[in-house]
Amino acid sequence: MASTLPVLLNTSDKKSRYFDRWWLLLIGVILLIIGLIVFKPDPFKRILFFVSDGIGVTIYTTLVSFVIVLIFGLITGLGRLSKISIIRAVTTIYVEVVRGIPLLVQLMFWYFAFPSIIQGLGEMISIETLAKYRANPIFMAILGLSFCYSAYMSEVYRAGIQSISRGQMEAARSLGMTYFQAMRFVILPQALRVILPPVGNEFITLLKDSSLVSVVAVADITRRGREFMAANFIPVDTWVMVALLYLVLTLFSARIVTWIERKTKLER
């Protein structure tokens, strides 16, 4: 027992001294942005100030959408595993249809077509509020992103749940737990550790795909970059700065996901 103690302590020391070297890449990109602003303030400083409000819009849209995706994706994933054929059929159709339509087309549908449907319905049933409905760009962007990515997230949940041995469910049921109690206290906690890496990847992909909301009048980083380029006619500098800003956001998100993965491993 005494001989194994130094080994355990040594392993613990190595884990405590763990440093994710990819943080250096993030720092390098930030220093590059600072260097461009300092040594060539015109146009890079002007570009950064112009698109700065779009950074907040991008982060807000991504975070709100991802929270909805986590919740609705779980519900859909459980529906795909349901023993009730109607629920399983509806959720399967939803997943297959949504995955077969490009995200850009879905965003355009929610922003341009969906309001027309609401207005037509309002005129049909004589409700003035619905007949005069106008789409909120950010709300529709969040709705479109959430509706699309929930289908993909449901498959991540489903794969994680199915990776857990059936014996875990049988053991939980034998202890008197209901199906929902077994899922909540036994299956899902184990499945969440399994699906953490793909969930992190989904978040990063969602963050990058949020640039598509620029086509539906959302003033995110991409749209603000397009507006600056149209007004100043300097495409190279504009899109270099926009690309670097997205790179900072994605690298930071990836590092946080890696840190969470490492913490969950240490708890095992």
Quickly list DSSP for 172-197.
HHHTT--HHHHIIIIIHHHHHHHHHH
Q: The CATH number of the domain where 98 resides is what?
A: 1.10.3720.10
What's the pTM value of the predicted model, to 2 decimals? 0.87
Higher-confidence residue of 247 and 189: namely 247
Kindly state the average pLDDT of the residues 44-60. Answer: 94
Asked, for residue 17, whether it belongs to a domain, the answer is no
Asked, for residue 108, whether it belongs to a domain, the answer is yes
Asked, for residue 40, whether it belongs to a domain, the answer is no
At residue 5, the pLDDT reads: 46
In 3D, which of 150, 141, 191 has the Cα closest to residue 66? 150
Dihedral sign, CA of 176, 181, 185, 186?
positive
At residue 88, the pLDDT reads: 94
Contacts of 224 (CB under 8 A, 6+ apart): 50, 51, 53, 54
Tens-digit pLDDT profile for residues 72-114: 999 999 999 988 999 999 999 999 999 999 999 999 999 999 9
In the structure, what pLDDT confidence band is assigned to residue 192 with cuts at 50, 70 and 90?
Answer: confident
Residue 253 · residue 204 · CB < 8 Å: yes
Asked, for residue 25, whether it belongs to a domain, the answer is no
Asked, for residue 29, whether it belongs to a domain, the answer is no
At residue 182, the pLDDT reads: 84
The least confident of 27-31, 38-42, 166-170, 219-223 is 166-170
Kindly state the average pLDDT of the residues 134-155. Answer: 94
At residue 133, the pLDDT reads: 85
Which pair of structure tokens corresponds to residue 90? 């509806």
Please say if the pLDDT value at position 3 is more than 80: no
Asked, for residue 11, whether it belongs to a domain, the answer is no
Asked, for residue 9, whether it belongs to a domain, the answer is no
Please say if the pLDDT value at position 14 is more than 80: no
Interatomic CA distance for residues 121 and 128, integer angstroms: 10
**Total count of domains within the chain:** 1
Asked, for residue 18, whether it belongs to a domain, the answer is no
Secondary structure class of 129 (helix, strand, coil): helix
At residue 18, the pLDDT reads: 63
Residue-range definition of the domain harbouring residue 212: 51-266
Kindly state the average pLDDT of the residues 180-192. Answer: 84
